[in-house]
Amino acid sequence: MTDLDFFPPIEPYDSGYLKVSDLHEIYWEQSGNPDGQPVIFLHGGPGAGASATHRRFFDPKHYRIVIFDQRGAGRSRPLGEVEENTTAHLIADMERLRQMLKIETWQVFGGSWGSTLALAYAETHPERVRALVLRGIFMCRESEVNWFLYGLRSFFPDIWDKLVSPLDEEERQDILRAYHKRLMHPDSAVHMPAARAWSTYEGSCSTLLPSPETVAAFGQDTMALGLARMEAHYFLNGVFLPPNSLLDNVDRIQDIPGTIVQGRYDCVCPPVTAFELRDAWPKVEFVLIPDAGHSAMEPGIRKALVAATEKYKDLA
């Protein structure tokens, strides 16, 4: 194991684009052991995209590591496209990818929005999921979205002020719609400043201690546009699921082994949501990291996630 509690960097042995509609094609890659236990990594956001670092949560000698960028995110095309982009579409994309790769069942790993999509997928296709490794639990309920847009001000008032500084007083009463309007504007001179402001806000609140590297990553154009547009789109549409759907249907995954890793001081996705999921899913392993925020790159969270993927090596 490296000094970062990660496995060494690796390159994909296979990658490409899967056309999932007339409009969308998604980037996918495989790394690690071609004959190994399949695991699929679900990135956050929605819209954040995946990176080479995400391969390193998994032992490449054991796992067949599948990573893809969801519709409108990262290397998938077109970037920032919200048409034909719903939770149901993303679940269907995962199934197309699984079938194309001739995988019967796989471990599903996701944090933040990745935990949302992982739960939605597992509740739809429980027979395809060997295990769930979830981090920074987010169920995209109205209360959670309101916390993100208003509640975070309690801990990050200076950062929140930067988020709302482009908005007039009336717009600040509905930050989501005000930003959605700017983010969907066709002129990049309008949507890119809004995207950077939104994405940088999230990055600035994601770590226990200030992390200029995290903020810089969230401010990059591809990340910012994909993240901000997709989040505003999904948040405004209630994640395209009935209210509280993920918690109401947790009985569908009761027999799937699972681990939740949650930062005690996660301000983006406060721990109360993870505790609600734990209480509804008695068999799940629950790991509360006492000195961590939201980011998967926090040392304690990183170590616990790797420990979980190591634990599930023994699954048949």
Residue with tokens 């509690």: 5
How much is the average pLDDT of 211-228? 95
Q: Is 251 among the catalytic positions? A: no
Q: Is 266 among the catalytic positions? A: yes
Instruction: Name the pairing type of β-strands 106-111 and 25-32.
Output: unpaired
Q: Is 294 among the catalytic positions? A: yes
Smallest CA-to-CA distance from 132 within 314, 293, 284, 282 is with 284
Residue count of the chain? 316
pLDDT band at 316 (very low <50, low <70, confident <90, very high): low
Domain boundaries, the chain: 14-140+240-314, 143-238
Side chain identity at 31, as an amino acid letter?
A: S
* Strand partners of residue 134: 110, 260
Residue 15 neighbours by CB under 8 Å, 6+ apart: 27, 28, 29, 30
Q: How far is CA 205 from CA 81, 163, 214, in A?
A: 26, 12, 10
Instruction: Give the active site residue among 199, 204, 294, 295.
Output: 294
Can you read off the two tokens belonging to residue 159? 């950062």
Does CATH place domain 14-140+240-314 in 2.60.40.420?
no
CA 316 to CA 307: how far, in whole Å? 18
Q: Are 269 and 144 in contact (CB under 8 A)?
A: yes
How much is the average pLDDT of 46-75? 97
Is residue 303 pLDDT above 80, yes or no?
yes
CA 40 to CA 161: how far, in whole Å? 37
Instruction: Give the active site residue among 31, 112, 115, 206.
Output: 112
In angstroms, the first-to-last Cα distance of the chain is: 24
pLDDT (tens digit per residue) in 256-281: 999 999 999 999 999 999 999 999 99
pLDDT band at 1 (very low <50, low <70, confident <90, very high): very low
Instruction: Give the active site residue among 59, 69, 93, 266.
Output: 266
